[in-house]
Amino acid sequence: MKKSRMNQKPHVELVRARLPPYEHPPPWIPPQHRDMHPEYNNDIREFLPREIHLQRMRASEQLGFNIRGGQEHHCGIYVSKVMINSEADKLGLREGDQILAVNNRDFMNIDHAEAVKVLKMNTSILMVVQFFPYGYERTYDKCKFLASNQQTDR
């Protein structure tokens, strides 16, 4: 059965993140000691999704963090700065976290302005975030690429 063009999902261009090249364990660390050695950490728990519940007294209060990215930039929403000693900082939010959802609202395909609106309109914010520094760094690569193209178009 063929789907009509009206029922097809719109094509979304995905941004591919460049992962760093694989580095073999240093030869001076014996295999039996690698799991506890500071120069060889294979613990991936820091990259797993986690929940952060941010409470504010009023919606007009600062969030304690900045974001960048959005669907119009062909990337997700990323935390670009966390204010020191803010509630977000105390709860473990950090630069490079990708915001996957806020109060059960999907943030994977959301415009930047809409993301800001959703974050600012609530006093109780339940965020699902995932540390993804490679995707976050791509937001800067994309900005550099766009800026260089604008200069060459003149």
Q: In this predicted structure, what is the pLDDT of residue 79?
A: 96
Give me the chain's average pLDDT, please: 81
Domains of the chain: 47-152 (2.30.42.10)
Q: Is the model more confident about 133 or about 93?
A: 93
Q: Are 57 and 123 in contact (CB under 8 A)?
A: yes
Which whole number is the average pLDDT over 109-138? Answer: 92
Tokens of 132: 């993804």
Which whole number is the average pLDDT over 82-97? Answer: 96
Which whole number is the average pLDDT over 24-30? Answer: 73
| Cα 85–Cα 91–Cα 94 angle in degrees, nearest 5 | 80
On the question of pLDDT at 153 being above 70, the answer is no
d(CA 70, CA 128): 16
Return the percentage of the chain with pLDDT > 90, whole number: 49
Q: Which of 33-47, 51-65, 107-121, 127-141 has the lowest mean pLDDT?
A: 33-47
On the question of pLDDT at 154 being above 70, the answer is no
Q: In this predicted structure, what is the pLDDT of residue 59?
A: 87
What are 30-52's pLDDT values in tens digits? Answer: 777 777 766 666 667 788 899 99
d(CA 126, CA 86): 16
Which whole number is the average pLDDT over 98-103? Answer: 96
Q: Is the model more confident about 102 or about 20?
A: 102
Amino acid at 127: M
On the question of pLDDT at 103 being above 60, the answer is yes
Q: In this predicted structure, what is the pLDDT of residue 138?
A: 76
- Using alpha carbons, select from 28, 27, 25 the residue that is nearest to residue 41: 25
